[in-house]
Chain A
Amino acid sequence: DQQVKQNSPSLSVQEGRISILNCDYTNSMFDYFLWYKKYPAEGPTFLISISSIKDKNEDGRFTVFLNKSAKHLSLHIVPSQPGDSAVYFCAANQGGSYIPTFGRGTSLIVHP
């Protein structure tokens, strides 16, 4: 039973537009959420995170929004660039567990 779900396996966006990647979770005990980016033949790279005490965290072109009541988070990339093309993984931590649980990933393609 997947506790972290990324229901869209792929997303295609035009360069300069906004990319929105979605993630849902089922475990209400999760209190820290992370996004990782993965290029082919490389390991996942940490991108941005958010604690459950916040509903938004921004870092340059990347913003993560958290809706605790809906158990939903999203990653916004504005503006999207071709170099953003990668697989994006959502992950969640439960306080005291330290072990992130990952979703299956969404493949983002940004067209020039």
Chain B
Amino acid sequence: GAGVSQSPRYKVAKRGQDVALRCDPISGHVSLFWYQQALGQGPEFLTYFQNEAQLDKSGLPSDRFFAERPEGSVSTLKIQRTQQEDSAVYLCASSLRAAGNTIYFGEGSWLTVV
């Protein structure tokens, strides 16, 4: 497809379990973003990649959160030892240029920790 693709769409994890969320950005897009959206809130920034370089990870809430984009295309957001407060929609977005101002979102991965 032509858009940002995320998987899985829905994930239920038991507390303490590790999860991995995948993002396949629009082909050729240099920049990739991860956002977290809790119920009733706006998207909150987690981390930003320019190609394979993680230029900003200031929004990651704890060291249990880790993101990578090893070949400058597909990215994975990993959450270790999940907790109930990690329950949210995780949105991936990409933009064409390093200085691109418009970012395009995927449909999100809905994580519920029980």
A-side residues, CB < 8 A to B, are 4, 6, 32, 34, 36, 41-46, 49, 89, 93, 96, 98-105
Tell me if A98 and B42 are in contact (CB < 8 A): no
Q: Could you give 5 example pairs across A and B, Cβ below 8 Å?
A: A41-B110, A44-B91, A49-B102, A98-B99, A99-B56
Tell me if B31 and A46 are in contact (CB < 8 A): no
Contact of B100 among A42, A89, A98, A101 (CB under 8 A): A98
The A-contacting residues of B in range 95-110, CB under 8 angstroms, are 95, 98-108, 110
What residues of B have a CB within 8 angstroms of the CB of A103 in the complex?
A: 42
CA distance A68 to B80 in the complex (A): 43
What residues of A have a CB within 8 angstroms of the CB of B98 in the complex?
A: 98
Known A44-B91, A89-B42, A103-B42: A98·B31 in contact at CB below 8 Å: yes
* Identity of the chain B residue whose Cβ is nearest the Cβ of A4 in the assembled complex: B42
Tell me if A43 and B91 are in contact (CB < 8 A): yes
* Identity of the chain A residue whose Cβ is nearest the Cβ of B59 in the assembled complex: A99
* Identity of the chain B residue whose Cβ is nearest the Cβ of A49 in the assembled complex: B102
Known A44-B91, A104-B40: A99·B105 in contact at CB below 8 Å: no
* Identity of the chain A residue whose Cβ is nearest the Cβ of B58 in the assembled complex: A99
Known A44-B91, A104-B42: A98·B107 in contact at CB below 8 Å: no
* B111 interface hit (Cβ, 8 Å): no
* Identity of the chain A residue whose Cβ is nearest the Cβ of B10 in the assembled complex: A41
Tell me if A46 and B101 are in contact (CB < 8 A): no
